[in-house]
Chains A and B, each alone.
Chain A
Amino acid sequence: MALTKQATDIVSPAEEHLNDVDRGHPARLPIASLILGGLSCIGMLASIWLIFFYTPIDALQGVTQRIFYFHVPTAWTGMLGFVVMTVAGVVYLIKPDERLDWIARASGEVGAVFLTFLLITGSLWGKPIWGAWWVWDPKLTAALILWFMFIGYLMLRSYMGRTPESARVGAVWSIVGVIDVPIIYFSVLWWRGQHPGPQITSDGGLPPAAVLTLMVSLATFTLLYCFLMVLVYQLQRLQTQAQRLRAIVE
């Protein structure tokens, strides 16, 4: 306790939110994480029931089509993760506050996981339907580059450590990425424009049951994203705290 008291003495008032762990508050927002976790769980159970029992089987694609209800929400959450990461980064550049950096890092980690899941489910769907695990279609290429952006962000942050410079560099990286990925999408669209490739199923022509399932699944994955964000944010906060304490000890 003496060491943590030492930590409390030398930190500025702005950093007091770090020291709640010492004062016996195990985690900020425990209610939020419980509520989000509970809702995600209920939502996921509902989604699974809807996806596997409620929606009709697709006439052309058969049972494989059900991946669509997992695939589209992960695309949405992955992109949401990148946007949140960029917004947090931009605000950090304007007004440096390490809590914004924790949000950015948390969003980077959670978004990367969702995007990996996106690429895997896409390949699993693509093999039976298109006969290929991967095609160089504009959407797929842009998704792959977005994945590289997430991985690059995580690598960069990991190599640079927990410093303000690292946070600024991460913010610049996500700004460059958020502008480049749409450009990449359009450049690949132009490149492939003369050779119409396989199209990912659009919403047009889906029966109402399928639309309902998709919406529920989308809401569930968004709740899951928020829940994971709260948890990873806490993790980032504790990791920063641990690093500071380690620095004092050493």
Chain B
Amino acid sequence: MAWHGHVCLACTCHLQFYLDLRVDNISAVAPGVLWIAFIFASLLGLGRTLAAEREQHSMDRLLLCPVDRKAIYLAKLLGNLLFIGVVEIVALPIYALLFNVPLPAALLLIVLLGTLGIATIGTLFSVMAAATRARELLLPILVFPLIVPVVISVVRATQQLMAPTVNEPPWIGLLIAFDVIFLSISMLTFQYVVEE
């Protein structure tokens, strides 16, 4: 987990060189930088938890338990959320320090909703990808196209917090809708992904 926090930090620092971040363009670019770092760390984390599980064959043991598959999915989701959440808690103060941006409480809500969206999709597809030969290599290819609404919403919502504009669409509303829809779909379809 410390390693993932370090990845987040390294990514954030590195992007400074790719994007030539200066004080005048910070509010336009900083939310994107933050979320690139979060998504990168999330995908690595999802891959790692699946690898560990595969080595210990714990998925087979979980499936032997007489529990609803939705419960297994929610448990995995919670595990991934906690993991990504800890990385984010570490990364956010560093981000605020490095880019000299404030950390309002509303940002935590946005980060939570965005993380939920990414983790929902990521958990479902990490189980799918684990069953293939390509394993963790396939996970980013599967996840990136699907989390586009989450990415757009969180980046725009973060920008709204840092530099409020008028007539913005309800990004947090879209985030909540996305989270609800994909949590439902993932819970319902998870049983088909894991059953032999």
Contacts and interface: CB of A to CB of B under 8 A. Distances in A.
B162 interface: no
B145 A159 contact: no
Nearest to A141: B148
A115 to B, nearest CB: 13
Given A172-B189, A179-B181, A180-B146, A165 B174 contact: no
Contact of A190 (B141, B145, B169): B169
A22 B187 CA distance: 43
B142 interface: yes
Contacts of B193: 168-169, 172
B25 interface: no
Say whether chain B's binding surface is mostly helix, strand, loop, or mixed: helix
Nearest to A171: B192
A108 to B, nearest CB: 15
Contacts of B149: 180, 183-184, 186-187
A193 interface: yes
Contact of A145 (B145, B167, B181): B145
Contact of A187 (B131, B144, B148, B192): B148
Contacts of A36: none
Nearest to A188: B152
A24 to B, nearest CB: 36
Interface string B110-142: 000000000001001000100111100010011
A53 B90 CA distance: 66
Interface string A146-159: 00110010011001
A165 B131 contact: yes
A38 B146 CA distance: 39
B157 to A, nearest CB: 11
Contacts of B189: 172, 175-176
A9 B174 CA distance: 56
A68 interface: no
Contacts of A179: 181, 185
Given A156-B132, A159-B138, A169-B128, A191 B156 contact: yes
B169 to A, nearest CB: 4
A156 B128 contact: yes
B140 to A, nearest CB: 11
Given A165-B196, A191-B156, A194-B167, A160 B132 contact: yes
A191 B165 CA distance: 13
Contacts of A168: 192-193, 195
Interface string A162-203: 000100110111011101100110111011011000000000
Contacts of A184: 148-149
B99 to A, nearest CB: 22
B98 to A, nearest CB: 26
B35 interface: no
A149 to B, nearest CB: 6
A176 B131 contact: no
A93 B145 contact: no
Interface string B162-196: 00000101010010001001100100010011011
Given A145-B148, A172-B192, 18 more contacts: A152-B142, A156-B132, A156-B142, A159-B134, A159-B138, A160-B131, A160-B132, A165-B196, A169-B131, A176-B146, A176-B185, A180-B146, A180-B149, A184-B148, A187-B153, A188-B152, A190-B174, A191-B152
Which 8 pairs across A and B sit closest by C-beta, in order of nearness? Answer: A159-B132, A148-B145, A190-B169, A187-B149, A172-B189, A168-B192, A145-B145, A187-B152
